[in-house]
Amino acid sequence: MAGDRLSWAGLLKWSLSYVDGAGPSRAISEEERRWLAEAVERHMMVDVVSRMREIALLMSTPPAVLEAQGITHDDIEGLLSELQVHVESIDMANDLHSVGGLVPVIKYLRNSNARIRAKAADVVTTVVQNNPTSQQLVMEASGFEPLLSNFRSDPDLTARTKALGALSSLIRNNRPGVAAFRLANGYTGLRDALNSESARFQRKALSLIHYLLSESHSDCSVFAQLGFPHLMMRLASSDDSGVREAALGGLLELARDTTLGKRSLLAEHDRLRWLLRRRMESIRTMTPEDLDAAREERQLVDSLWIACYNEPSMLRNEGLLVLPGEESLEQPPDVAGRFFEPMRQASARRAPPVERSDPGDETGGGLILLLGPAPDGGSNSQRR
């Protein structure tokens, strides 16, 4: 070993001496174990950065050159998938710009291939989620504009949905991002999403709506003026439980608003009362298993009824709000927010991903050699 550089041939020989059966094995000391772990970690970090630079170089290459070398859309999509694994580590996410990879990823948001646009949005989502540094870098690199454009008008529904997910991660706890979203009237895109036939698209839109409503009372008035209460009442009867609960959560945020938000609900007094009674009747006929699964919906319906009519709901009066064995909830659950809970939990566990071993990288060669199989997903830092 010279300095911090590790002789991997020597390490391999040393490791094999314990498993080749040529002699009696002995236990590895704690000092040796720690040295090996640190050496591997240093090598992995260097390899990840090097690989990210290679991918960035390839993505920065003119499309005509890539096509001449036989690199296909599938290859590019695979590289983006690999890059997404690498940036699961918050350090690697913040390094993406310095290695020259962030701007090419943003450019791929405008690619002619819908799958590449969608995958580029996935990478942006991973880079910016719960990461103020990368949120700022993406905003400065003009990443907001193509995401908003794709969210609003991409002809491919999957690409639109992925762009919305990336936008949500970009502007959460990011005041400049929220301000840009408001200034660009992103609300109309959310309204279009609620009018779509895709439950997944609707859930993502409702999640962002819930966040905006909970962050600013002024947004309650805007959403009310744009007719969102009527749309959310319709979705509160959706066959998809996630859409239904998220819509009820949005209505509850409006009901708690003391300005135009609540007045807009009371303006549709009869429709809202009919909707809530219908949901309660449906809950009353549920099996015990379905009742357990609908716990969040029960809490939301009851809270919304109290907020609008200042009296206990039928569910509370009949003992269906808190079932035997359940704990009473002081506040209704953050239903829309739970769609982002897996991302929040995983971000707390973010750690440098385990880089794959790729002996083919040592052979050198042209750009075509930069292509390699995506990692096998064994990293502890994965969030999917």
Give the pLDDT score at 322: 83
The token duo for 181 is: 């979203």
Q: How far apart are CA 35 and CA 16, in angstroms?
A: 16
In 3D space, the residue among 52, 44, 55, 40 whose CA is nearest the CA of residue 93 turns out to be: 52
The token duo for 46 is: 């260097």
Give the pLDDT score at 2: 38
Whether the CB-CB separation of 93 and 131 falls below 8 Å is answered with yes
Give the pLDDT score at 21: 53
Mean pLDDT over 2-15 rounds to 45
What is the CATH number that goes with domain 44-184? 1.25.10.10
Give the pLDDT score at 24: 55
Give the pLDDT score at 3: 39
Whether the CB-CB separation of 353 and 89 falls below 8 Å is answered with yes
Decide which of 132 and 216 is more confident.
Answer: 132
Sign of the C-alpha dihedral computed for residues 375, 378, 381 and 384 taken in this order: positive
| Lowest mean per-residue pLDDT among 102-116, 212-226, 282-296 | 212-226
| pTM as predicted | 0.74
2 - beta bridge partners? 5
pLDDT > 90: what percent of the chain?
57
Mean pLDDT over 115-127 rounds to 98
Q: With cut-offs at 50, 70 and 90, classify the pLDDT of residue 246.
A: very high
Residue 359, pLDDT above cutoff 80: no
Buried b / exposed e over 89-122, threshold 16 CB at 10 Å, is: bbebbbbbbebebbbbbbbbbebebbbbbbbbbb
Whether the CB-CB separation of 132 and 170 falls below 8 Å is answered with no
3-state secondary structure of 113: coil
Mean pLDDT over 179-206 rounds to 96
DSSP secondary structure, 287-331, as one string: -HHHHHHTHHHHHHHHHHHHHHHSS--HHHHTT-SS-TTPPPPSS
Spans of all domains in the chain: 44-184, 205-324
Residue with tokens 């909970």: 214
Cβ atoms within 10 Å of 7's Cβ, excluding its own:
12
| Lowest mean per-residue pLDDT among 27-31, 72-76, 154-158, 344-348 | 344-348
3-state secondary structure of 221: helix
Mean pLDDT over 322-341 rounds to 59
| Lowest mean per-residue pLDDT among 151-155, 193-197, 214-218, 262-266 | 262-266
Q: How far apart are CA 104 and CA 205, in angstroms?
A: 27
pLDDT > 70: what percent of the chain?
71
Q: How far apart are CA 356 and CA 48, in angstroms?
A: 9
Q: With cut-offs at 50, 70 and 90, classify the pLDDT of residue 342.
A: low
| Lowest mean per-residue pLDDT among 6-20, 37-51, 56-70, 246-260 | 6-20
Q: With cut-offs at 50, 70 and 90, classify the pLDDT of residue 355.
A: very low
Residue 221, pLDDT above cutoff 60: yes
In 3D space, the residue among 253, 251, 225 whose CA is nearest the CA of residue 238 turns out to be: 251
Mean pLDDT over 59-78 rounds to 92
Q: With cut-offs at 50, 70 and 90, classify the pLDDT of residue 324.
A: confident
Spatial neighbors of 6 by CB under 8 A, at least 6 apart, are 39, 42, 43
Mean pLDDT over 325-354 rounds to 52
Give the pLDDT score at 142: 96
Give the pLDDT score at 338: 54
Give the pLDDT score at 212: 94
Residue 162, pLDDT above cutoff 50: yes
Q: With cut-offs at 50, 70 and 90, classify the pLDDT of residue 383.
A: very low
- Average confidence score pLDDT of the chain: 81
Q: How far apart are CA 377 and CA 380, in angstroms?
A: 9
Q: With cut-offs at 50, 70 and 90, classify the pLDDT of residue 33.
A: low
Residue 237, pLDDT above cutoff 70: yes
Decide which of 149 and 23 is more confident.
Answer: 149
Counting Cα atoms < 13 Å in the Cβ hemisphere of 236 gives 29
Side chain identity at residue 345, one-letter code: Q
